[in-house]
């Protein structure tokens, strides 16, 4: 049996409601700044929920020519911008020698929904001759993957991944497996979504999944707080550069962390509610720890899924107590969604970046709005960032509608 290849993270990029780069996003997280506000990019008249985490002030022309920005849905634009930043951060230039062994995997829960809605409205209002010949590709779930691979010249496998809110984490996990099993040497992996739309706010609002704190947007997302009332729909993207250790060594790449473990599962229970005992979530977390060759006693930080919904937060807390035991009361556990909102398919990738930054700096981003913790024995890092002297291993959880669960383990190097 061939020895499993070590997978390293050598770069990352992000576009979020907190900033247009990974660095801007991280700085805002440590400051405890909320990216949630009243939605102004669309008409929210008549909607029960009128708040969200928008990517504000994004200029596509900084990252792509007009021919691309005109055809690409915002979710694909964000993904491409994050991928370009990740490659620059990693010092990665994809030349003819590397290209056949560079893969791209991008996860998305909703995909190019804005473009789909616009195309349907155009067909209704102007007829079939008004539909762009690019519509069939730009309204497809793989459009972000296509834009990235074509722009960067990556000729290895390119795949779109869709597992609801676990999409970004699953895409990173799929990239890890590609390298571990020899299918690729380098993978650009991550997630993207741009679903702050009237349809999606109405649908998730009618499902009673969203916070209705329209009058106080910054306080709306309240993970692990007793007065939480739902998640906040947000948008963004993050991409990480994954490399086989020997390839990163040959390139002389700066190593940010080791991607040590990945686990995934399904609840097989309900479309929108997690299994009441966290059966699937626990399976994913245990699988990720086992894949990394560690136990719960080795975890130093948890970036929780922490959506701010009644059912998820209670379930995740119970799962962490079962899997980590008493360790969970001695380590920081925070939810950065309290500041970004829920970026759906991008969430797991953005939260992986935050987890790696915590390992590198010892600084743990806070869970803002956590005024009355549902489990007072757990350090949810309320309100303000904390510094911890020794952080070696981080666990990042992603659980989604449809019972999709994914967990990633990263180790400091």
Catalytic residues: 165, 305, 342
**Nearest C-alpha neighbor of 360 from the set 7, 5, 10:** 10
Are 230 and 208 contacting, i.e. CB atoms less than 8 angstroms apart?
yes
Contacts of 124 (CB under 8 A, 6+ apart): none
Residue 206: CA atoms inside 13 Å, Cβ hemisphere, count? Answer: 7
Contacts of 12 (CB under 8 A, 6+ apart): 22, 82, 85, 86, 89, 238, 239, 240, 241, 256, 353, 356
Tracing tokens 């890890």 back to the chain, one arrives at: 176
Please work out, in degrees rounded to the nearest 5, the angle formed at the alpha carbon of residue 297 by the alpha carbons of 257 and 259: 20
Helix (H) / strand (E) containing 192: strand 186-194
Please work out, in degrees rounded to the nearest 5, the angle formed at the alpha carbon of residue 178 by the alpha carbons of 177 and 179: 90
User: Rounded to an integer, what distance in angstroms lies between the CA atom of residue 352 and that of residue 358?
Assistant: 10
Burial class from Cβ neighbours inside 10 Å (0-12, 13-18, 19+) for residue 63 reads buried
Contacts of 45 (CB under 8 A, 6+ apart): none
């Amino acid at each position: 049996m061939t020895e499993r290849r070590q997978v390293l993270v050598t770069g990352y990029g992000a576009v979020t409601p907190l900033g247009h780069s990974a660095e801007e996003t991280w700085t805002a997280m440590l400051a405890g700044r909320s990216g949630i506000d009243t939605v102004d990019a669309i008409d929210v008249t008549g909607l029960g929920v009128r708040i969200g985490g928008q990517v504000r002030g994004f200029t596509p022309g900084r990252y792509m020519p007009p021919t691309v920005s005109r055809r690409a849905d915002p979710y694909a634009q964000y993904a491409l911008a994050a991928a370009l930043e990740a490659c620059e951060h990693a010092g990665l230039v994809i030349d003819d020698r590397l290209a056949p062994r560079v893969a791209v995997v991008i996860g998305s829960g909703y995909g190019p929904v804005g473009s789909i809605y616009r195309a349907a409205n155009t067909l209704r209002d102007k007829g079939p001759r008004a539909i762009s010949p690019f519509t069939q590709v730009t309204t497809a779930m793989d459009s972000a993957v296509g834009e990235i691979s074509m722009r960067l010249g990556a000729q290895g496998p390119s795949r779109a991944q869709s597992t609801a809110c676990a999409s970004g984490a699953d895409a990173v996990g799929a990239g890890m497996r590609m390298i571990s099993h020899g299918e690729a040497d380098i993978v650009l992996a991550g997630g993207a979504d741009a679903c702050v739309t009237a349809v999606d706010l109405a649908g998730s609002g009618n499902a009673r999944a969203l916070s209705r704190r329209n009058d106080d947007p910054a306080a709306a997302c309240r993970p692990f707080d007793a007065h939480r009332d739902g998640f906040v729909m947000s948008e963004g993207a993050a991409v990480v550069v994954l490399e086989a250790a020997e390839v990163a060594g040959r390139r002389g790449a700066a190593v940010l962390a080791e991607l040590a473990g990945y686990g995934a599962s399904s609840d097989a229970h309900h479309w929108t509610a997690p299994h009441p005992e966290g059966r699937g979530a626990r399976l994913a977390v245990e699988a990720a720890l086992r894949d990394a060759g560690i136990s719960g006693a080795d975890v130093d930080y948890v970036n929780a899924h922490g959506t701010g919904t009644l059912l998820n937060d209670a379930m995740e807390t119970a799962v962490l107590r079962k899997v980590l035991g008493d360790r969970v009361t001695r380590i920081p556990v925070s939810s950065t969604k309290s500041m970004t909102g829920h970026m759906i398919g991008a969430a797991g990738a953005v939260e992986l970046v935050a987890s790696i930054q915590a390992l590198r700096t010892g600084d743990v981003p806070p869970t803002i709005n956590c005024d009355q913790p549902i489990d007072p024995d757990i350090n949810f890092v309320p309100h303000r960032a904390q510094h911890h002297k020794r952080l070696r291993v981080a666990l990042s959880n992603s659980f989604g509608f449809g019972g999709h669960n994914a967990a990633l383990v990263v180790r400091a190097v």
